[in-house]
Structure formats: structure tokens, C-alpha cells
Amino acid sequence: QIDVSHYISEDQADQEREVIFRDYPIIVATSCQLPEPGDFITSYATGVPALVVRNRDGAARAFINVCRHRGSRVESASSGSKKRAFTCSYHGWTYDTDGNLIHIPQDYGFDGLDKSCFGLRELPVVEKHGFIWACHAPGESFEIDGFLAGVEKDLDGFKLNQWHHFETREIPCKMNWKLVMDTFFEGYHIGKLHRQSISHIFHEMAVTFDAYGPNHRLTIARQNIEELRNMPDEEWDVLPYTALVYCLFPNTILVYQADHIEIFRVFPGDNPGESLAVLSFLTPEKPETQKLVAYWQKNLDLLVNTIQGEDFPAGETIQAGLSSGAQEHFIWGRFEMALAHYHRTLKDLLGRTPLITRKAAE
Ligand code: FES
Ligand SMILES: [Fe+2]
């Protein structure tokens, strides 16, 4: 069971911001979102303005998107490509893709200033297994595999960097970010909440749960899994007959859906009752015809409609009732093991200091 204050407490929200969204490695992009040197994205969702860019050598770099002159935002576009340098729109200080300050307009106004001391503040970043992770506080580098605790074997199997980043959409939610995460942690609701939309595709009670350190995987059987009965065991392949739902702790959900991949990254909003879900939709390859683009667009719209029309409204009613006094705790049944695992992990993490957490995982 879990105390409902977990979703409404301001103190907890502050602590999460500090411990989880600053110190813990967070996925900032998929590798296929930034395929070429000069490709970049910016984000503000963790509370720290971040600029993630692929440099000239093809390496992912992350910086605080704050100008070292007087603190204006350096890059204001949410994404872009072929960028060689980032110029602050306030007075024009310019940084290269490694964060070095390379130009100051009328630099005679800054006699003796050593440009090498005024590069963008770098954030520790790791690119591996098809993802780019960053910590949102400057500091030492980290080793991501310690945090993944075995789930990286599955990620490697998907060869995520060979997929195509089709689109990323932001969905504002009127509920705590952890309620958005909870949406993905059981199949128990599929038969009821999704009875008009997707319940005919899945066996909602045929779900397995596996934990990998702080992360976990749910395997939800599709109805077509019955076909395997007539096939020899050695020909069985799990992917076409299931949906694999991974929680990459703390705030990412990866859903492997047989023919496409959905990645949700969830961030706290300005108060504990708001959040932002960032959905990235990956297709096996770049759609080269209008027809294919329309096909994937339709798939993405269907997904967003199901989530926004069914899952998220349910979560938003939960949020709206949390302060009602109806109950102090929620209880989880045996189909909801992933919720227990996730929230226990989160609670343990918040009980420790950030430094110990980072070290412990290494
Ligand atoms: S604040 Fe960026 S150039 Fe002045
Ligand atoms: Fe759902």
C-alpha cells in the first residue's frame, strides 16, 4: 500500500526535484533523435534548462542552456539540425558544439577576459544502448550500466539507434508525474478502461513482471499468442505476440509494440498535481512515402487518443480525489507488483542523499 500524500506533498515534490531530477541520470533523448553532428534538442522539463547536442566528432554532449555572460537562454528552439554554433540572442556570445565560448561581439569591452573560463556549464552525459542519459547537475561522470542492472541486454537487443525518430509530442497532464507512471504498471485495467479500444488485442491477465534493480519489465500477452500453441517451442518468438513495457527508472517508459516503439518520459510540473509527459514515437525505418507517413501518423494519433481519452482522464480523477479524505492509502493487489516495486524503489532513493545514491549504483 502507499500513502496518498506521496502524490500531493509539496515537500516530497521538492525532494524529488533535487534527488531524482537533478542527481539521478535521466534519459534526455534517444540516439536516433540526434543522428547527425549538429543535431540538438533543448529541454526545461527537469527544471534545469538543458541543451543536448551531437558535436562534430559525433559524440553527445549536454550543457546548461544558460549564457555565461548574463544568463539568458542560449538556444531557444526546441530542436534543430546542422548547428555549428549557438549564439545567445541577448548580446551574441557564441558557443561551439563542445560548449566552448568562441566569440564575443566587441570583445574589447571585456579586456583580459579568458574565454576558456566561460564555456557553457557541462552536464555529465552517457550515450549507450540507444539512449542519451544526463545528470542535471554539473559533476562527475557516471556509469549507466550500474543503474540499468541487466535491463540493458534487452535494450541492446532492440538496436534502438537503428530505428527512426518519427515524432515527439508533449502532453501536459493534470496529475502528479507518478500517477502518469502508474498508468503503465499493470494490465489489470485493460479489460475495463480500454474495453472499447484495445482490450480485444491483449490478454489483460496474462502479464509477467521482472525486476532489474530499480527498473522493471512487464510482458503483456497479445491475443494472437494462441498461435504459438501449434508451433514447436524452438520457433517461438516473443516480440510479435506481446507488448513489452519497460520502466527505466525513474521517469521513462519504453513500450515495444511489435511494429513500433513508444517512449514516454514523465516530468513533474509546477505543483504536485501537474506533470508533463513527453512521448517519442519510433518507427523501424524512415517512412519514405506519403502513404507510409500517413500510416504512422494515424498510429500515433490512435495511441495519443487512447492515452488522452482513457488512461490520463482516469489518472486525473485520481488526482482530483486525493485530498478528499476518502482514504489515506491505496492498496495494490497481486496484479500490481510493478507499482509496489517502483514506489518502494523511489521511497528508498528519497531516503538517501544524492551522492550516496549515485555511488551506490556504480
Ligand atoms: S546574456 Fe548571453 S550574450 Fe549577454
Ligand atoms: Fe492503459
Is the same domain home to 202 and 288? yes
Which residue lies with its CA nearest to atom 1 of ligand 1? 70
Domain end position, chosen among 141, 175, 198 = 141
CA dist 269 → 45, 84, 172, 280 (Å): 8, 32, 9, 19
- Distance, in Å, from the CA atom of 357 to the CA atom of 362, rounded to the nearest integer, reads 9
CA dist 89 → 38, 102, 330 (Å): 19, 15, 49
Closest listed residue to residue 122, CA positions, set 144, 147, 97, 104: 97
- Distance, in Å, from the CA atom of 159 to the CA atom of 239, rounded to the nearest integer, reads 14
Is the same domain home to 246 and 351? yes
* Ligand 1 neighbourhood includes 101 CB (under 6 angstroms): no
| Ligand 1 pocket mutation pick from 69, 94, 107, 120 by most atoms within 8 angstroms of CB | 69
Cα-to-centroid distance, 66 and ligand 1 (Å): 9
Angle at 181 between CA 157 and CA 40, to 5 degrees: 60
Which domain, by its residues, includes 102? 26-141
Mean pLDDT over residues 178-201, rounded?
A: 94
Domain end position, chosen among 141, 173, 203 = 141
Q: Is the pLDDT confidence value at 205 over 90? A: no
* Interior/surface letters 283-298, b for 16+ CB within 10 angstroms, e for the rest: beeebeeeeeeeebee
pLDDT of the residue at 356: 35
Which residue lies with its CA nearest to atom 4 of ligand 1? 91
Is the same domain home to 58 and 148? no
> Could you report how far apart the first and last alpha carbons of the chain are, in Å?
30
Q: Residue 183 CA: which ligand is closest?
A: 2
Number of residues assigned to the chain:
362
Question: Residue 327: what residue type?
Answer: Q
Beta-bridge mates of residue 133: 27, 126
* Interior/surface letters 233-259, b for 16+ CB within 10 angstroms, e for the rest: eeeeeeeebbbbbbbbbbbbbbbbbee
Is the same domain home to 156 and 237? yes
Write out pLDDT tens, residues 245-276.
999 999 999 999 989 999 999 999 999 999 99
Indicate which CATH number applies to the domain containing 198.
3.90.380.10
pLDDT of the residue at 116: 97
Which residue lies with its CA nearest to atom 3 of ligand 1? 91
Domain count, the chain: 2
- Distance, in Å, from the CA atom of 51 to the CA atom of 63, rounded to the nearest integer, reads 5
pLDDT of the residue at 352: 60
Q: What is the mean pLDDT of the chain?
A: 94
Could you identify the atom of ligand 1 that is nearest to the CA of residue 71? 1
Per-residue three-class SS string for 139-202: CCCCCHHHHHCCCHHHHHHHCHHHCEEEEEEEEEECCCHHHHHHCCCCCCCHHHHCCCCCHHHE
* Ligand 1 neighbourhood includes 128 CB (under 6 angstroms): no
pLDDT of the residue at 46: 94
| Ligand 1 pocket mutation pick from 74, 75, 91 by most atoms within 8 angstroms of CB | 91
Mean pLDDT over residues 92-121, rounded?
A: 97
Q: Residue 67 CA: which ligand is closest?
A: 1
Is the same domain home to 78 and 93? yes
